[in-house]
Amino acid sequence: MVLELTSEEREMLEGKHGKATRKAMEIITALGEIYGAKRLIPVSSVQIAGVSYDNLGEAGLEYLSEMAEDGQTRVLTTLNPAGMDMVEWKKHGISEEFAENQQRVVDAFEKMGVVTTCTCTPYLIGNLPHFGEHIAWAESSAVCFANSVIGAYTNREGGPSALAAALTGVTAEYGLHLNENRFAQVRYEVQTELKETNDFGFLGQVIGNRTGKAIPYIVGVKKATTEQLKSFSASVATYGGVAIFHMEGITPNRTTIPDKTEVVTEEDLKQAQIELDDEEAVIDFISIGCPHASIKEIAEIASMLKGRKVSDGKTVWITTAKPTKDLAIKMGYYDQIEQAGAYLVADACCAVAPLKGRFTGLMTDSAKACFYARGKNKFKTEIRTMKDCIREAVS
Amino acid sequence: MQGRKIFKGKVVGEALVTGEDISFYGGCDPETGEIVEKGHHLEGKSIAGKVLVFPSGKGSTVGSYVLYALKKAEKAPLAIVNRIMDPVVAVGCIISEIPAVDQIEIEKITTGQKIEVDADNGVVTLIE
């Protein structure tokens, strides 16, 4: 065996730290062997995916319950979105049966010591690694943001392997944990100005589709907000297999600059929008917050909805993390949004909630949300700026 | 044939072989063990109780939980033999305790053949 273990790691594998820890260590060492890791390394933070009961099903829940019998997290661990707002689910039209099962999933995680706020943007609510820190995150958009924008080190984990890292505090050293695998491979020259957040979604879509798994080095983006980088990360990871990117003047990682250059024009971004706009879409569902909306975005939406009314036949979900929702309640944004007839939904999102069959057409500002709305829920989609989405809601 | 152990166990069973990658999430019914991916070489066939031989896994990370569901429903493959094991399938085998071996020349195995999978030693033997 090339993979060398410390005595404590070997003890975990032998079952001396309990059943769940043994299973977790089996997963980590197997992955380490498959990818030729020489050793395991400590991680300081974990983000777990596979939380919505809609995706997990009974079998997934059963696995988690089994792990929860004696498993305990060793590092800060947070959760991906669940299938519903864990408090206000009833008014969002979630069934009692689903709610009960979703609660069982969250309870199993809580028993293991996971911080059970459910969000795809853990970095906005206190699970924020720093540059150079090794972590084990699932959730492709957060993985991409952590590696690229923050400069932390993580592979793209799946649900069980992220949980395994949480229970052992380690991960195998391979892939994006090694500097040599983080260099850019293709240079993308952006020859148009990006204005709105959804423009960054389009750019992610264009680059993701073209680059596949080749790491991009992007030039020509003059400035970007955190919200725009969150949108770009989600999109590039959804449409490509990219778990890290470099953006000149914006992201902190060191890299060589590849010679191979591709050009991204305004026409390419327009084409990306056309691809996400279904001609026959009848919009009855508007959702903002993929990835989860920041407090800044919520403030903007609240000011647009204040004193207005969502028109009949339309449902509006603004999805966010629970701590951000609590802050929005304190600031009065929640009341402005809800009095207009829209919902500020915590913990969940339009991609993982059980929404199939409830709506026919989604309008959103997120290229990633369009992908899942079409594939999983069979909705028609239209993508617009956040402002245009809210205008559509009250039109 | 000497390969590499992914998850332990020793079984003898009938091989079900395909040259196409498998996505367990969306591609395999977790309750019946039937391959449901449209146009897949094994579409309509059940993998339950077979030594499932295929090149590699593909698709969503939720696939690991589908293997676990199959095991709970007693519809899991007896063992898995791959050319290159994908991490989603590897994790699925580990959490479901399905013997698994990779780095095997799967072209040498044909459907219906009786084979032994000695995952502890990473060895696959053709019996008939």
pTM: 0.90
Q: How does pLDDT run across A267-286, given as a tens digit for each residue?
A: 999 999 999 999 999 999 99
Q: Determine contact, residues A208/A240, Cβ cutoff 8 Å.
A: yes
In chain B, where the domains are located: 4-126
Question: Scanning every residue of chain B, which has its alpha carbon at the shortest distance from the alpha carbon of A160?
Answer: B91
**Buried b / exposed e across B21-51, counting CB within 10 Å, b at 16+?**
bbbbbebbbbeebbbebeebebeeebbbebb
Task: State whether residue A228 is helix, strand or coil.
Answer: helix
B24 touches chain A (CB under 8 A): no
Beta-strand relationship, A361-364 and A343-346: unpaired
Optimal mutation site among A21, A63, A65, A377, interface B, most CBs of chain B within 10 A? A63
Distance between CA atoms of A138 and B20, rounded to whole angstroms?
27
- CATH number, span B4-126: 3.50.30.10
Beta-strand relationship, B114-118 and B10-17: antiparallel
What CATH superfamily classification does A7-179 receive? Aconitase, domain 3 (3.30.499.10)
Name the CATH topology of A183-274.
Rossmann fold (3.40.50)
CA-derived radius of gyration, chain B: 13
Does the CA dihedral A162-B64-A80-A194 come out positive or negative?
positive
Q: How does pLDDT run across A356-378, given as a tens digit for each residue?
A: 999 999 999 999 999 889 887 88
A50/B87 Cβ within 8 A: no
Q: Is the ipTM of this complex over 0.90?
A: no
Segment-wise mean pLDDT, segments of 10 residues, chain A, 395 residues: 91 97 95 92 96 88 95 98 98 97 98 97 98 95 97 94 97 97 98 95 95 93 97 92 94 97 97 94 97 98 97 97 98 98 97 94 95 88 97 95
Task: State whether residue A177 is helix, strand or coil.
Answer: helix
Question: Which two structure tokens, joined as six digits, stand for A127?
Answer: 């699970």
Whether residue B60 lies in the annotated active site: yes
B30/A34 Cβ within 8 A: no
pLDDT at B23: 85
Distance between CA atoms of B36 and B23, rounded to whole angstroms?
10
Task: State whether residue B10 is helix, strand or coil.
Answer: strand
Question: Which two structure tokens, joined as six digits, stand for A48?
Answer: 């777990």
Q: How does pLDDT run across B59-76, given as a tens digit for each residue?
A: 677 788 889 999 999 999
- CATH number, span A277-394: 3.30.499.10
Q: How does pLDDT run across A137-172, given as a tens digit for each residue?
A: 998 899 999 999 999 999 989 899 999 999 999 999
Domains A7-179 and A277-394 share a fold: yes
Is residue B106 left, alpha or beta, with left meaning phi > 0 and alpha meaning psi from -120 to 50? alpha
Closest by alpha carbon to A64, among A108, A127, A4? Answer: A108
Optimal mutation site among B4, B7, B94, interface A, most CBs of chain A within 10 A? B94
Question: Scanning every residue of chain B, which has its alpha carbon at the shortest distance from the alpha carbon of A30?
Answer: B6
In chain A, where the domains are located: 7-179, 183-274, 277-394
- Within 8 A of B101 by CB-CB distance, chain A residues are none
Angle at alpha carbon of residue A289, lines to A228 and A98, rounded to 5°: 150
